[in-house]
């Protein structure tokens, strides 16, 4: 029995390397990775020209800053290793001649470029090792965060609900939830956005989720619940630098009344069956900024056919390559177009429209949207 052909082995090797991605998909992934790396390093580079500095000097100055931006993100030992490798690569072997009186001595220096390349390869292995460990930890954090968020909306009498989230990184600072309030015949709905992204925002999102679930056991009006959550948030907000915007509502199926508090969040859009538009903006300051700010609540009645959209700023601030934002007007157009559909069928169309608008531009912020339709 003949073994695999050389071509077959090459094809299997290439498929293993690329994980089945096409060339255009690999190019798009490379562009996204390159942009992400450039944003990481360029934030420490000042491209403003210095007085009296020529064009060549300006380019060298920027290159030096960029090199330092890379070095500062390594450990001291790896910085030395990188510098040694660069010197070995940039200085090839040559013959030096030294004159001392009448004697002439020559010495051949070995070509160190190969060894410099091996040092760079060793440095790459160490950096990849760190990345693998970090990726594994982030994957665990992602799984924990997914456990904190509801996999699907609960059955709420008189409402159809759908929600979805897309983190800008592995983990997100956005939060959404719908659950029955303990000891009451009502349901709590929440959409929140922690300032920042990635791991720090995700950790504060977890504390917000825990405080909301714990404090909702205490009876009282919605404004008191939000005030208690705010006091707890102030203990973790680093003097207001890590604040949270949130829209928290309480729905009573018997009366069809929705009472809400908007704590500095993007105003949810209520599209009435008649076509009238309302923005749910009554509330107060974001959570975690001040210890005792006043919060107000407002109440609306959800009639059959009404559509409510609660979202984070990642939806309307999604940007394309031309730095144009998706915007609230385009969101409204999609909501009006799909007003007669169920939230479960409309939400994928909305996310697909965001994808069409953004195209190949990188996602800068977490995207979360909750659609609620009264039936």
pLDDT score at 229: 94
pLDDT score at 332: 95
pLDDT score at 52: 73
Structure tokens at 84: 């040694």
Topology at the third CATH level for domain 151-374: Phosphatase 2c; domain 1 (3.60.40)
pLDDT score at 34: 79
Q: Is 171:198 a contact under the CB 8 Å cutoff?
A: yes
Distances (CA, A) of 153 to 26, 72, 156, 283, 358: 36, 45, 8, 25, 28
Residues 82-86: contacts with CB under 8 Å, at least 24 apart: 82/120, 82/123, 84/116, 84/119, 85/116, 85/117, 85/119, 85/120, 85/123, 86/116
Give dist(CA 88, CA 90) in Å, integer. 6
Structure tokens at 176: 């959404």
pLDDT score at 54: 79
Distances (CA, A) of 4 to 19, 20, 65, 74: 20, 19, 51, 43
Q: Where are the alpha helices (DSSP H) in the chain?
A: 6-18, 23-42, 55-71, 76-90, 113-148, 198-215, 222-234, 313-316, 327-337, 343-358
pLDDT score at 105: 46
Residues 6+ away with beta carbon under 8 Å from 101: none
The segment(s) of the chain belonging to CATH 3.60.40.10 are 151-374
pLDDT score at 331: 96
pLDDT score at 96: 46
**pLDDT digits (tens), the chain, 375 positions:** 455 788 888 888 888 888 888 888 788 778 777 777 777 777 777 777 777 777 888 788 888 888 888 888 888 888 888 888 888 888 765 444 445 554 444 555 567 888 888 888 988 888 888 877 777 777 777 777 777 788 899 999 999 999 999 888 777 788 999 999 988 899 999 999 988 777 777 888 888 899 999 999 988 999 999 999 999 888 876 666 779 999 999 999 999 999 999 999 999 999 999 999 999 999 999 999 998 899 999 999 999 999 999 999 999 999 998 889 999 999 999 999 998 899 999 999 999 999 999 988 888 888 999 999 999
């Amino acid at each position: 029995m003949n073994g695999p052909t050389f071509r077959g082995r090459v094809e299997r090797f290439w498929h293993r390397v690329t994980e089945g991605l096409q060339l255009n998909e690999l190019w798009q992934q490379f562009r996204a990775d390159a942009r992400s790396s450039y944003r990481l390093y360029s934030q420490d580079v000042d491209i403003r020209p210095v007085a009296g500095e020529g064009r060549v000097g300006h380019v060298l100055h920027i290159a030096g800053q960029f090199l330092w931006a890379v070095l500062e993100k390594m450990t001291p030992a790896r910085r030395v290793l990188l510098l040694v490798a660069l010197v070995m690569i940039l200085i090839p072997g040559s013959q030096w001649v030294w004159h001392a009186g009448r004697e002439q001595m020559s010495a051949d220096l070995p070509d160190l470029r190969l060894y410099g390349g091996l040092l760079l390869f060793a440095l790459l292995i160490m950096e990849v090792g760190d990345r693998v460990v970090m990726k594994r930890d982030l994957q665990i954090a992602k799984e924990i965060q997914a456990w904190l968020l509801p996999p699907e909306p609960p059955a709420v009498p008189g409402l159809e609900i759908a929600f979805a989230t897309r983190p800008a990184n592995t983990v997100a600072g956005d939060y959404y939830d719908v659950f029955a309030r303990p000891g009451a015949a009502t349901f709590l709905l929440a959409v929140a956005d922690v300032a920042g992204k990635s791991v720090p925002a995700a950790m504060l999102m977890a504390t917000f989720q825990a405080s909301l679930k714990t404090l909702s056991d205490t009876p009282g009006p919605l404004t008191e619940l939000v005030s208690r959550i705010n006091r707890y948030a102030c203990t973790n907000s680093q003097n207001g630098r890590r604040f949270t915007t949130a829209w928290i509502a309480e729905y009573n199926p018997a009366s069809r009344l929705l009472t809400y508090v908007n704590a500095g969040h993007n105003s949810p859009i209520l599209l009435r069956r008649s076509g009238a538009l309302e923005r749910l903006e009554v509330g107060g300051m974001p959570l975690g900024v001040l210890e005792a700010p006043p919060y107000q609540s407002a109440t609306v009645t959800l009639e059959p056919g009404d559509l409510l959209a609660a979202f984070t700023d990642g939806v309307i601030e999604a940007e394309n390559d031309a730095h144009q934002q998706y915007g609230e007007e385009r969101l409204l157009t999609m909501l009006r177009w799909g007003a007669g559909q169920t939230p479960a069928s409309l939400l994928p169309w909305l996310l697909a429209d965001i994808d069409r608008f953004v195209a190949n531009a990188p996602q800068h912020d977490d995207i979360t949207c909750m659609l609620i339709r009264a039936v």
